[in-house]
Structures are given as structure tokens and as C-alpha cells.
């Protein structure tokens, strides 16, 4: 199985399994998909600056029981400029878009993208106001309000490296002196942070810098076997998803048809 096929199967499978769980009365789609999405949002509190974007290579090592090889994907996180003056956002709201693609695909190609209307820290499920999913070049699908429910997910205090808040939950945050590290964008002065999550949730480690937009993340690793490495960042991000063309999220059979033919 090729790297590209593995990456596509992982993303498509995540969508389908999430819908199946929801229809079986198990955790709904947002918990299956958005919890995993929030798990890559390491670092300090988000800097909300519309138009900023950052791109990473994400590597995952599935557990042995999954019987799948290590895989990689390109992840681009952006705060796209809201380009619809006739429908302005409410004060404090903003869009966040996360694109997933094979590292070898062209920049304009993708497997899946999430577009979320947020108010507050995106790692807190209560910040979600709207969620849209786009697969390939299909019309985007919007999660019904009933799926946007309060979830537990990651503990924001530890995930944000809030030492006092994390300690109150039974975790620990350790910060180390800044030093220059080499990245795809050249030498960047950064801080290393090690977070021990409460209980048996494991340990995360990441490097952050004020020079990098959004969460300031340069590289990081999570207890679930995911790692991220900075590739590029910039300004002027526009949305890949037109929310005006969104259709309601279909049932499982319709979703499988929707996803057929992805690259």
C-alpha cells in the first residue's frame, strides 16, 4: 500500500468511523474527529490574527494492534480572512481552517479540510459554533447543531502549557531556556516545553516561538504518537471552503458515496 493511499485511508476511515459511532449511539462525530484535531494544537494561547497560516508535516506511528505502517501528512492551519462583508462575524468570532493532504501532493490538492467558526480557544469544545468538512473537491458538509456538543477532550490548562492550571489538575509543566533551533524556515529562537499530563495521559513535548503565528508551535510530539514539524508560515490566508455552499452532513451510506473517488 502506498504512502498516499495509507494517508487517504486514515482520513476517510476517521470520517466513516466517526459517523458509524454516532449512529450507534456512541460518541458523536465531533468527539471522534475534533478531539484528534485539538490534540495537534499544542502551545500557548492562540494568537488570533486573521490571514495568518502555518504548515506542518505530521507523522503518526499507529499502535502495533492497528497493523498499519507509519504515515505522514501535510497539515496547514490557518485563520482565513472572512471575505463576506454582507454576513459579518459576531464580535470575538473567527474562522479556523485545517487542511490535511499527502506531503507529495500539490499545494492546491487535499484529502480533507475542517472549517470551524470559533469564539474562544479552539481547544475548548465550547468555543465551537459551526463545523464544516470538505473532502477532495466535493461540496462541504456541515455538522448539524446536535453533533456540536460539549466534550471533555484535552485538558486546556496542560495543553496550553499553563503551569499553574496544569498543576491544579495533577499535571506538570517544565520550561527550559530559549535557544536557537534549525527549521525549514531557518534558525529560530525557541523555548522547549515538557508537559506531563494528569494521571496516565502521558507526556507531550514541544518547541514554541513568538516568531511563528497561531500557537507559535515549531515542533512537538503528543502522548498518542503524533509529531509535528514546522514547514512554513505566512500571511494572507483565504478559505478553501465556501460555507455558503455547505450541505447538511449525510448519513453513513451517503457519506461513503460522497467520499468515493478521492485521490
Domain boundaries, the chain: 3-259
Stated as kind and residue range, the H or E segment containing 130 is strand 128-135
Average pLDDT for 239-245? 84
Per-residue pLDDT of 165-200, as tens digits, reads 888 888 888 999 999 999 999 999 999 999 888 887
pLDDT single digits (tens) 26-71: 334 445 566 667 667 777 788 899 999 999 998 877 666 666 677 7
The band of 111, judged by pLDDT with boundaries at 50, 70 and 90, is low
The DSSP symbol for 86 reads: T
Helices (H), the chain: 3-23, 29-38, 156-159, 163-168, 252-259
> Locate cell 461513503: which residue?
256
Q: Out of 85-89, 171-175, 218-222, 246-250, pick the least confident.
A: 246-250
Q: pTM value? A: 0.78
Amino acid at each position: 500500500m502506498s504512502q498516499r493511499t495509507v494517508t487517504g485511508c486514515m482520513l476517510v476511515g476517521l470520517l466513516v468511523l466517526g459517523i458509524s459511532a454516532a449512529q450507534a449511539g456512541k460518541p458523536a462525530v465531533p468527539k471522534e474527529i475534533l478531539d484528534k484535531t485539538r490534540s495537534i494544537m499544542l502551545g500557548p494561547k492562540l494568537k488570533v490574527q486573521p490571514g495568518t497560516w502555518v504548515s506542518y508535516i505530521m507523522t503518526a506511528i499507529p499502535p502495533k494492534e492497528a497493523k498499519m505502517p507509519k504515515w505522514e501528512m501535510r497539515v496547514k492551519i490557518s485563520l482565513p480572512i472572512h471575505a463576506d462583508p454582507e454576513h459579518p462575524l459576531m464580535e470575538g468570532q473567527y474562522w479556523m481552517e485545517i487542511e490535511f493532504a499527502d506531503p507529495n501532493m500539490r499545494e492546491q490538492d487535499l484529502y480533507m479540510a475542517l472549517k470551524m467558526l470559533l469564539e474562544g480557544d479552539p481547544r475548548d469544545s465550547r468555543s465551537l459554533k459551526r463545523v464544516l468538512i470538505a473532502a477532495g473537491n466535493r461540496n462541504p458538509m456541515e455538522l448539524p447543531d446536535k453533533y456540536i456538543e460539549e466534550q471533555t477532550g484535552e485538558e486546556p490548562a496542560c495543553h496550553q502549557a499553563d503551569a499553574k492550571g496544569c498543576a491544579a489538575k495533577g499535571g506538570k509543566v517544565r520550561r527550559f531556556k530559549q535557544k536557537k533551533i534549525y527549521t525549514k524556515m531557518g534558525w529560530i529562537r525557541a523555548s522547549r516545553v515538557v508537559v506531563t499530563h494528569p494521571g496516565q495521559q502521558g507526556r507531550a513535548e514541544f518547541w514554541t516561538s513568538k516568531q511563528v503565528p497561531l500557537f507559535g508551535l515549531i515542533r512537538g510530539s503528543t502522548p498518542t504518537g503524533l509529531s509535528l514539524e514546522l514547514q512554513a508560515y505566512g500571511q494572507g490566508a483565504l478559505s478553501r471552503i465556501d460555507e455558503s455552499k455547505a450541505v447538511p452532513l449525510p448519513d453513513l451510506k451517503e457519506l461513503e458515496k460522497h467520499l468515493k473517488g478521492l485521490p
